Amino acid sequence: MFGKVLIANRGEIALRVHRACQEMGIRTVAVHSTADATAMHVRFADESVCIGPPAARDSYLNMAAVISAAMVTGADAIHPGYGFLSENARFAEMVEAHGLKFIGPAPEHIRMMGDKIAAKDAMRSLGVPLVPGSMGALETLEQARDVAEAVKYPVLIKAAAGGGGRGMKVARSADELEEAWSVARTEAKAAFGDDSVYLEKYLDRPRHIELQVLADTHGNVVHFGERDCSLQRRHQKLVEEAGSPVLDAAARDALGATVTAGLSKLGYRNAGTLEFLWQDGQFAFIEMNTRLQVEHPVTEMVCGIDLVKEQIRIAAGEALGYGQKDILFYGHAIECRITAEDPESFAPNPGKVTTYHAPGGLGVRVDSALYSGYVVPPHYDSLVAKLIVHAPTRAEAIGRMRRALGEMVVAGIKTTLPLHQAVMEAPEFQDGDYTIHWLERFVSDRNTDAAG
Ligand code: ADP
């Protein structure tokens, strides 16, 4: 087992990884920008290294600085968290070239899944169901037109290098295709430096359901069931749950069997999440994330497992030591992503948190790096806390979330806490009856009511 792990991240996820290490008796090294010198992840780590100025490209994304920090502190391995360098195949290669372990998948699999066209090709060959669309990248608008006619409008033009919902444009009819095509390509070029795009049928009322997997280096692949992440705004998740209100054990088992067999054939290792759209009882693969996900805690709560510890054990070469039949699900878990944003306009609202009070009690978990007096810096993602609840049933979990949201205090900055409270009270949410488009409408109706 590793003696020391460097955590190449910040905020709640750096703290999350630190906690797993500490329980395993592994020493931790935090890295931080000058803006994060007093951050919680720095305070808790056994050692810390400043790796640069506030801008992420000069600090948390600076591969040489991160690897140097690992070398000078004598770390054995690097955990990248999510975001930043977590899905950068070159970084994973550099880490290994310096004799360190990268706590994540092999570089070739990071690269394959980072290219959504290559990922879809791989999944097609493994028998995983896909959203109908183009086979590979589209070279011309005429090709896009042909595929759109074949799969029928509405269609979606998506960036091969996409992420965070960028480089994605809907065309509802042939008239809209040219504009969607050029806007998606321009956005993709600007955001990712790569304007390759592909086309998918735009599903009008899907749910977003994803499957958590772990694979060790001894050929064992298991899944930990699904997460339903259908509550989204601008293709960004706000609330996630395990399990999905619409899926039964048979559907989960069938998908899990296809996916684990496929990943085993691929020789995949460590954690991964396969994202699907689900509509009319059918799954359609959209992408695979080769890292720990923000919403991983809901899976941990229903399976009673620490996914970060498992990632570390796998990277150290240990076998999982259990099989699919040993993984049991109990109860229901919900996570609310609380961000430092205006709950109506979603404008970022960094600044000083004058008072912070975390909720508690049975079945309540808070993953956050907040403290009273903390200044949320303007340079990074606006996520400030994840509030997770676990209860025997979905109805009880909702009741627990309402109670916990009511106890939580984040004063001094605007947060999305009031929006989460409203979502928990919405009958559609309580009934579990919604698609990926529901929340957007709910937010705009709520804003209209507030204005009227
Ligand atoms: P990104 O990597 O940018 O997050 P994804 O491919 O994961 O992009 O898609 C993000 C979200 O966009 C999905 O969760 C879903 O809400 C929506 N989406 C993606 N593909 C489709 C599609 N073919 N039809 C309808 N919605 C889609």
Tell me the per-residue pLDDT of 416-444, one tens digit each, with 9 for 90 and over.
999 999 999 999 999 999 999 999 999 99
Nearest C-alpha neighbor of 266 from the set 94, 114, 110: 110
Express each pLDDT in 107-126 by its tens digit. 999 999 999 999 999 999 99
Confidence of residue 5 (pLDDT cuts 50, 70, 90): very high
Whole-number average pLDDT of the chain? 97
In this prediction, residue 452 carries a pLDDT of: 76
Rounded CA gap, 431 and 316, in Å? 43
Express each pLDDT in 85-105 by its tens digit. 999 999 999 999 999 999 999
Nearest-CA residue for ligand 1 atom 19 is: 286
167 CA: nearest ligand 1 atom: 3
Distance from the alpha carbon of residue 235 to the mean position of ligand 1, in angstroms: 6
Give me the half-sphere count of Cα atoms (radius 13 Å) on the Cβ side of residue 102.
Answer: 30
In this prediction, residue 344 carries a pLDDT of: 93
In this prediction, residue 450 carries a pLDDT of: 85
Query: Are 92 and 18 within 8 A, CB to CB?
Result: no
> Residues with Cβ < 8 Å from 101, sequence gap 6 or more?
2, 76, 77, 78, 95, 315, 316
The radius of gyration of the chain from alpha carbons, rounded to an integer in Å, stands at 21
Residue 303 has pLDDT above 80, yes or no: yes
Residue 162 has pLDDT above 90, yes or no: no
Nearest C-alpha neighbor of 332 from the set 386, 405, 393, 387: 393
Distance from the alpha carbon of residue 279 to the mean position of ligand 1, in angstroms: 13
200 CA: nearest ligand 1 atom: 23
Q: Provide mean pLDDT across the span 36-51.
A: 98
Query: Are 393 and 331 within 8 A, CB to CB?
Result: yes
Distances in whole angstroms, Cα of residue 113 to Cα of each of 106, 110, 266, 340, 433: 11, 5, 12, 30, 31
Report, as residue numbers or ranges, the catalytic residues. 291
Amino acid at 152: K
Which of 228, 286, 435 gets mutated to test ligand 1 (max ligand atoms within 8 A of its CB)? 286
> Residues with Cβ < 8 Å from 235, sequence gap 6 or more?
164, 165, 168
Query: Are 371 and 397 within 8 A, CB to CB?
Result: no
Residue 165 has pLDDT above 90, yes or no: no
Amino acid at 78: I
**Greatest extent of the chain over all pairs of C-alpha atoms, in Å:** 62
159 CA: nearest ligand 1 atom: 3
Which of 152, 168, 239 gets mutated to test ligand 1 (max ligand atoms within 8 A of its CB)? 168
In this prediction, residue 142 carries a pLDDT of: 96
In this prediction, residue 112 carries a pLDDT of: 97
Rounded CA gap, 426 and 447, in Å? 15
Residue 209 has pLDDT above 80, yes or no: yes
Residue with tokens 């003696």: 3
Residue 415 has pLDDT above 80, yes or no: yes
Give me the half-sphere count of Cα atoms (radius 13 Å) on the Cβ side of residue 260.
Answer: 20
> Residues with Cβ < 8 Å from 410, sequence gap 6 or more?
338, 353, 355, 356, 370, 384, 385, 417
Residue with tokens 């941990």: 300
In this prediction, residue 164 carries a pLDDT of: 80
Rounded CA gap, 310 and 63, in Å? 25
Rounded CA gap, 452 and 442, in Å? 15
Q: Which residues pair with 133 in a beta bridge?
A: 200
Contacts 24+ apart (CB under 8 A), 54-57: 54/377, 54/379, 55/379, 56/84, 56/379, 56/380
Pocket of ligand 1 (CB under 6 A): 131, 156, 162-165, 200-203, 206, 208, 232, 235, 275, 277, 286-287, 436
Nearest-CA residue for ligand 1 atom 18 is: 235
In this prediction, residue 167 carries a pLDDT of: 86
DSSP string covering 255-294: HHHHHHHHHHHHT--EEEEEEEEEETTEEEEEEEE-S--T
165 CA: nearest ligand 1 atom: 3
Rounded CA gap, 382 and 384, in Å? 6
Distances in whole angstroms, Cα of residue 4 to Cα of each of 47, 96, 237: 10, 16, 33
Distance from the alpha carbon of residue 231 to the mean position of ligand 1, in angstroms: 12
Classified as helix, coil or strand, 238 is strand
Confidence of residue 6 (pLDDT cuts 50, 70, 90): very high
| Whole-prediction pTM | 0.96
Q: Provide mean pLDDT across the span 44-63.
A: 98
> Residues with Cβ < 8 Å from 431, sequence gap 6 or more?
none
Rounded CA gap, 237 and 303, in Å? 21
Classified as helix, coil or strand, 313 is helix
Residue 345 has pLDDT above 90, yes or no: yes
Distance from the alpha carbon of residue 286 to the mean position of ligand 1, in angstroms: 7
Residue 451 has pLDDT above 90, yes or no: no
Percentage of the chain beyond pLDDT 90 is: 97
Nearest-CA residue for ligand 1 atom 2 is: 163
Structure tokens at 76: 């054995």
Residue 158 has pLDDT above 80, yes or no: yes
Strand order in the sheet with 4-7: 47-52, 27-33, 4-7, 77-79, 101-102
DSSP string covering 48-83: EEEEE-SSGGGTTT-HHHHHHHHHHHT-SEEE--SS
